[in-house]
Structure 1
Amino acid sequence: MASITSAGLGSGLDIEGLVTKLMTAEQAPITQIKTRESKETTKLSSWGQIKSALSSLQNAAQAMDTRSEFTTFKASIGTSTVATVSAGTSAVAGSYSLEVSKLAEVQKIKSAGYASASSTVVDVSGGSKTLSLAVGGTTTNITVDSTNNTLEGLRDAINKSGASVTATLVNDGDASAPYRLVITGKETGTSNAFSLTGLSELNYNASTGTGTGLTKVQAAQNAEFTVDGISISKASNTVTDAIQGVTLNLTATNSGSATKVTVTNDTAALQTKAAALVKAYNDLNSIIKVQTAYNATTGTAGTLNGDGTARNLQLQIRSILGGVSGSGSYSTLSSVGISFQKDGSMALDSSKLQKALDNPDVDVAAIFVKDSSGTGIASKLGSSIATMLGTGGMVTARTDGINATIKSMDKQIDTLTDRLTSIEKRYRAQFTALDTKVASLNSTSTFLTQQLAALSSSSS
């Protein structure tokens, strides 16, 4: 509305007050629409909570919808200083004897001592020379000239060459020649041994361990160990193919004192997944229960009370979780300890689930997963929720409908607001005209009164 003006001064009428009251009455339809819009916005917020809870339930279901998620294993080792162990889905439950006689090592060689890091090592007075560095089956040629024939120059040239070695300088504290070039292989194992040729000042034969200007610090070595008495040699201390599905990270030797590696089913992980599924359902159920509730005593209703979509969603979820999958006496969630309570929530009997998991004759996975034997409950639940939340799904359709209603109300408010502007303008024009008319009449009345008074005075 317009700000307070001087309208009414001529007539004495409270034109501003009259316009304000009239416009307040005219605004009633907008107020009503805004009240309804606020309710729709609250509904949208409630559906946002349901969508979030549905997504959490979907994630919990998808964590149990494939057979590989039920074939989880854990590995342990008797002597933890010898190795760390882990098991993947392809592991097989069992125990294995492990004895490590050698750890895989990188090759390491050192040069003779030099007085300083800038000491000349290679004579290039006759021109440049080529240092050939062979690592495994790969040879890298390095040009050595007057720009890099010093100890530190060779270090930098080797490191820049891309060869699978690292060159460093070490100061051993010798009084006259403390600086040494140390070359270390980047990978362990005999297949990664390296040799240097091409320079008379620096050459080394890895196969014989001899050279000129370079001596052995440590030879490249394979890890050597036995599993159940079977001798195995590997280039790395990380071994993934000695025991099926088990990764061994060898860290120490234990010759003559074998340790045991044990692989067992990781039922604790399955218990955690089952508990997460139950919690996710209970969270969703609680939200829907609150949002659709009605208190007869107080006469108050939840935001989604009477919302058929919310009720239908709840019934569909309950129907899936209460369904049958698999065969025999173990074909429902309740048969393995996941059951509905009187209040509609779910509870997990971990002891009952553990008993089923420990029973080799019970295919617990068949109740949950989708595979050649059928579609399990977790798989059905995950796909059903995906449909609900997807384009055209019941949840998406419901929220799209609410958003469309809010958008329509916004348009109505805009239209009515424009109309009110015109109405207020008309009211002000009418009252201004009235004010002018009344002022004119008042002026005429005053004039006539004055004239009559004058006539009366003259006649007397």
Structure 2
Amino acid sequence: MASPIRLTGMASGLDTEKIIKDLMKVQREPVNRLQRQKQLDEWKRDAYREMNSLLDELRKTVDTLRFAGNFNKKIVSSENDGIVSAKVVGTPSYASYAIEVKQLAKAEMPAAVELTVDSSITSKTTAIGGTDFTFEVNGKAIDVKSTDTINDVITKVKNADAGVEANFVNGKLLFTSKTGATLTGADGNSFSVKVTSGDGSKLGMDSTGASSSTRVPGQQAEVVINGVTYTSSSNTFTFDGVEFTFKQQNLGAPINVSTKTDEDAVFNMIKGFVDKYNEVIDKINKKITEPKYKGYQPLLDEEKEALPEKTAEKLENMARSGILLRDPILTSALNEFRRAISSPLQAAGVNTAFDTLSEIGISGPPSGKYAYQENGRLYIDETKLRNAIRNNGEDVLKLFTNYSSSTDPATKYNESGIAERLFDQLKQVTDRVTKEAGSTTSLFDDSYLGRKIKDTDEEIERWEDRLKTIEDRYWKQFTAMEQAMAQAQSQGSWFAQMLGQQ
């Protein structure tokens, strides 16, 4: 569609373009309000999503505290590492192990033959040369062609299943018995390599044959653990989640290997939770108490362009500030978090002396006139917490991990460990925030703010169509006026000319 002809004040002398632009500024106000509201909604959505990411991090940290296995980490120590050393590789069930090493495992010393090959053969890939020949190793015949390489010979020995393996090392061809293989020597612990036809001198072989050294059989380790005898092909043996390494015999003099809770691992796990909890509630508290500056609104694009960059950035920050001020979702969540970690654990078998966090050394800020400003931060009495882990580990475990199967919400809450409660609360609040603002990990956004932003975009688009129509109408009106004035001026000139001729 061709653009309409626009006359810009040729007859009237008016700055038509400026007049229409000023008129359109007034007409654009509804669109400006929509754009500012859209920006506010986007800021709020992004702020919610930032909070949701923080809450998800805390939830992952809390998740580790829900499982008893993470509190049952053990360390093990031997009263004599020179005889037996040990390390935890699973979940030990015994508190201690009495160990007697009756016999250490010994590796088998294989039988071996070393042959010096011809100096012309410098690598595994060099052709042997000479003539074809056959040799026998441990009773198995191997045919060798002059075009074969050392690699070919090694492969043929392997495929012959001769109970020995061949290797080429430092110009020597080595034949070594495999562990446990049956050997053909008279003593059953040796073998020979000899040529049965042709000339094998290129590989250092002859028809007389070369006998191997004598194999020295290995032996298994024999140990007694808590009264039961075990054998092992190596001096490293895993039993009940503990890997033992046997180093020397101690016949008749058992030594003790003991296990205990890995205090540092449990302490660091709990401390990591407290640190993450404090980090998250600090950021949420900062967000919901951030000041709101009245009169500051998001800047439109043309407003940003008209201002220095730093000024525009400052005004944007002022307009963004307080976007989640006193937000009901986050405020409610903080209250529920505090309730979850402060309510006593009330369940069968719970030691009432260790039914709250404060009783294991985790409590609020020290008393003082500024304590209220801490907004629910947790503090650790390290000595008290370590003592609880060391002396009342089962009570600490229950305090965090106790699980309730009750279908009554109130009973389930009271019987659930702190980690269980907090995990559930975190899931509820993240679900609420996701419903309100969506998620950065989801391709489809059906959140309240997502739909609102989409609706605003559609409303802006409809307004832009209207404004285009209004602007075109203004131009038509001014163009018609210019055309009428031009025609009047033309007629006036004609009358003047006619009167001048009389």
| Bin of the TM-score, shorter chain as denominator length | 0.7 to 0.9
Cα separation, 1, equivalents of 2:336 and 2:35: 34
Contact 2:84 2:244 in 1 (8 A): no
Tell me how far 1:415 sits from its aligned partner: 1.5
Tell me how far 1:59 sits from its aligned partner: 1.5
**Once superposed, what is the RMSD of the aligned Cα atoms?**
4.1
Matched with 1:394 is 432
Q: Which amino acid aligns with 1:397?
A: K
The 5-angstrom pairing of residues 94-173 of structure 1 reads 94=96, 96-97=98-99, 99=101, 102-103=104-105, 105=107, 108-116=110-118, 118=128, 124=134, 144-146=142-144, 152-157=151-156, 167-171=166-170
Q: Which amino acid aligns with 2:71?
A: F
Return 5+ residue gaps in structure 2 as ranges: 119-123, 194-211, 296-317, 366-371, 406-414, 438-446
Tell me how far 1:289 sits from its aligned partner: 0.7
- Report the more deviating stretch, 150-159 or 43-52: 150-159
Q: Which amino acid aligns with 1:180?
A: L
Matched with 1:135 is none
The 5-angstrom pairing of residues 211-226 of structure 1 reads 211-213=191-193, 214-216=212-214, 219-225=217-223
State, as a whole percentage, how many aligned pairs show the same letter. Answer: 22
Contact 1:113 1:180 in 2 (8 A): yes
Cα separation, 1, equivalents of 2:338 and 2:485: 75
Q: Does 1:379 align with 2:420?
A: yes
Matched with 2:330 is 310
The 5-angstrom pairing of residues 293-442 of structure 1 reads 293=289, 295=291, 302-325=322-345, 326-341=350-365, 342=372, 343=374, 344-360=376-392, 363-371=395-403, 374-389=415-430, 393-399=431-437, 400-442=447-489
Deviations along 1:252-277, one digit per CA (max 9) or x if unpaired, are 55778987644221011111111111
- Report the more deviating stretch, 69-78 or 290-299: 290-299
State TM-score, norm by structure 1: 0.76
Aligned to 2:94, the other structure's residue is in SS state: coil
How has the CA–CA distance of structure 1 residues 154 and 146 changed in structure 2, closer, same or farther, with 3 Å as cutoff? closer
Aligned to 1:179, the other structure's residue is in SS state: strand
Q: Does 1:270 align with 2:249?
A: no
Aligned to 2:76, the other structure's residue is in SS state: strand
Contact 2:112 2:177 in 1 (8 A): yes
How has the CA–CA distance of structure 1 residues 422 and 218 changed in structure 2, closer, same or farther, with 3 Å as cutoff? farther
Q: Does 1:48 align with 2:55?
A: no
Deviations along 1:308-350, one digit per CA (max 9) or x if unpaired, are 1111222222221122223412111221112233421111222
Matched with 1:139 is none
Q: Does 1:194 align with 2:185?
A: no
Tell me how far 1:411 sits from its aligned partner: 1.3
Cα separation, 1, equivalents of 2:161 and 2:490: 107
Cα separation, 2, equivalents of 1:162 and 1:377: 64
Deviations along 1:326-379, one digit per CA (max 9) or x if unpaired, are 341211122111223342111122211112122258621111114479531112
Q: Which amino acid aligns with 1:396?
A: T
Matched with 1:93 is 95
- Select the structure that is richer in strand: 1
Return 5+ residue gaps in structure 1 as ranges: 133-141, 186-192, 197-202
Tell me how far 1:157 sits from its aligned partner: 4.1
Paired residues, what number? 417
